[in-house]
A = this chain, B = another copy of it.
Amino acid sequence: MPTSIRYVGDLPTPSLLVDLDRLDANITTMAARWPGTSLRPHVKAFKSTALAARLAANGHTGFCCATVKEITGMARAGLGTDLLLANEVVDPVRLAVLAALVDGGARITVAVDSDFTVAAVADAGLSDVLIDVNVGLPRCGCPMEVAGPLADLARSRGLTVRGVMGYEGHLMGVDDRAARTAGTQKSMSVLSAAHGSVGGEVVSGGGTGTWDCNDVITELQAGSYTLMDTYYRKLNLPFTPALSVLGTVVSTNPQGYAVADVGLKALGMDHGDPTITAAAVWFCSDEHITYAPEATPPTLPRIGDRVEVWPAHVDPTVAYHEHFSVIRRNDPAAPIDDAEVVDEWPIDLRGW
């Protein structure tokens, strides 16, 4: 971080901000229910070994990853105590990279859901797997009734089957908590049945949306709770938005709108437009956000003013940026420019 940057007002825009106090509060809240290795933080949400190290320092030393790049970066950063690749990989070159990391001392467990993936993992010389079971989300995961035979196949190939995983991703965005809980129980009954035929000590699943309605798993795979976004915010979870994109107003129009330099290349857009406090967001273009203040009468910001934009989806937002600017709002009522920049964390696990 350049030494000239001490306050948010010194940052160029767009910049990705992490509010350190809010992040720490989210970590604490989650750890009260899922302490230590009962939480397996999902690295895909933040893609940063610096943020992961903060979680490890809090006792969460086992991590979940979605890509080989995330696994390799974590292992090379000394965070390879217990890494789960919660995804199917069939590329022998990349699986060989994982095997080399295991030889170097990392523990890496890989999800498998087919004869093909079992063979690929065994051929690469890896040893630890989880049987990935479909629990309702139409994505990876074998049918429940195949889980046992697949575990047998894996063991016959010399693999250690640590247990099962199943991700109830189709329930993460269900607004009503009772419905979310009921759906999760149904999904987890599938996972439990699969676990009965697979064996092993691990039952891995869940996410931020089901953090408090999943009692079956032995470990929770949650990542978004650290930073939060508007998608999860509507669930009224006890986690606080800690991630924003800082922008600068570059144009205003007498018709009552302003334009800032936070566009859709600085934001994950699959969950829709981001939000701006006390304003209606009209739309995002590549490098712009057009929005109208909601005050009556509308009071336009001045050109050069800073604005915080709150992403609708953490994961793909983070993946566009090279680093987090870590900030502290010493006075929450003060303009964002006055917040202190206390650190810069590289987003070093991007790509594949």
Q: Which residues of A pack against B, CB within 8 Å?
A: 12-14, 44, 66-67, 87-91, 93-94, 113-114, 116-117, 134, 138-141, 143, 169, 248, 250-255, 257, 259, 261, 264-266, 268-270, 282, 284-288, 290, 302-304, 315-316, 319-320, 322, 351-352
Q: Which residues of B contact A254 (CB under 8 A)?
A: 143
- In the bound complex, residues from chain B placing their C-beta under 8 Å from that of A250 are 87-90, 117, 140
11 contacts between A and B (CB under 8 A): A12-B352, A44-B287, A88-B259, A138-B290, A139-B259, A143-B253, A143-B254, A264-B270, A269-B316, A270-B284, A320-B320
- Distance of A338 from chain B, by nearest CB (Å): 18
A169 touches B285 (CB 8 A): yes
Nearest chain B residue, comparing its CB with the CB of A170:
B283
Contacts of A322 in B (CB 8 A): 351
Which of B139, B252, B282, B288 is in CB contact (< 8 Å) with A290? Answer: B139
Name A's interface SS.
loop
Q: Are A94 and B139 in contact (CB under 8 A)?
A: no
Q: Are B139 and A288 in contact (CB under 8 A)?
A: yes
Q: Which residues of B contact A319 (CB under 8 A)?
A: 265, 320
Say whether A253 contacts B134, CB under 8 Å. yes
- CB-CB nearest 4 A-B residue pairs: A269-B270, A116-B303, A88-B250, A140-B251
Within the complex, the shortest CB–CB distance from A116 to chain B, in Å, comes to: 4
Copies, count: 2
Which chain B residues lie closer than 8 Å to A67 at the CB level? 287
How many angstroms between the C-alpha atoms of A115 and B124 in the bound complex?
63
Interface contact B315-A265, CB-CB below 8 Å = yes
Chain B residues positioned under 8 Å from A140 (CB to CB)? 250-251, 259, 288
**Closest B-chain residue to A250, C-beta based?**
B88
CB distance from A67 to the nearest CB of B (A): 6
Q: A138-B282, A268-B269 are in contact. Are A91 and B12 (CB under 8 A)?
A: yes
Query: Which residues of chain B are near A316, meaning CB under 8 Å?
Result: 264-265, 269, 286
Chain B residues, CB < 8 A from A91: 12-13, 248
Question: Is A94 touching B12 in the complex (CB atoms < 8 A)?
Answer: yes
Q: Are A251 and B114 in contact (CB under 8 A)?
A: yes
Contact, CB under 8 Å: A116 / B286: no
A285 CB contacts on chain B under 8 angstroms: 139, 169
Enumerate chain B residues within 8 angstroms of A94, measured Cβ to Cβ. 12
